[in-house]
Structure 1
């Protein structure tokens, strides 16, 4: 059975076309692929064997649309210890989720939900904003 997963890794990414990535790896672009496709060289630094001599982590290429849908920028956090990087990443993910939830609360779909479900979503948004404040306070101490 196929299962659904949510990614939780902090990765390094560099904007790079499919062709540039293939050239970087020393590969020939397959004839059925578009070399102008926008995307990212992605380096996974939290495990996995390196597969390129210029990188300490495993690298791959991701199309821009899939990358943008799956990752939220956390900025330049490489100078922070891993536990602080995770706090910053969690904060940025939470900001993104709060923005999306608040946008949903302004839609006709939300307005058409039963009263109890609308109330629970408002309570969820309030709790998320409170949690965001706590993470903001913690992250402000990392500077």
Structure 2
């Protein structure tokens, strides 16, 4: 994914969400405090770029101005992903939230193992994966987050 500077990010369509990379986790001199840099998400609004719930930034600084904004891809429906896969595009499904929601505590099994989860695959591999998930196939299809790899 391309990394944008703050000006390029502010010129993206309203509602675009970004993962934000900042050079520091905590820098006392600049008063830039972030609880979890890996979850720092921003959204472009008409009033400017606003940070979502994970950010705790006391004051904009040169650290923030030099941040890199990576546009987040929006999930598509299962059928959109499958149709794109039939056209030869790579697709993936993210079931990270489902693994937490449906985790079988007794057997410690997951909806989808890490080999398949959130990895770009061909349509053939996706169908193989769905064939091996048995009792979780409908959950993956209906509740998973499906993505099409952008060129």
TM category, shorter: 0.3 to 0.5
Structure 2 length-normalised TM? 0.32
Structure 1 length-normalised TM? 0.34
Which has the higher Rg, Structure 1 or Structure 2? 1
| Highest RCO, 1 vs 2 (Cα 8 Å, sep ≥ 6) | 2
Which is strand-richer, 1 or 2? 2
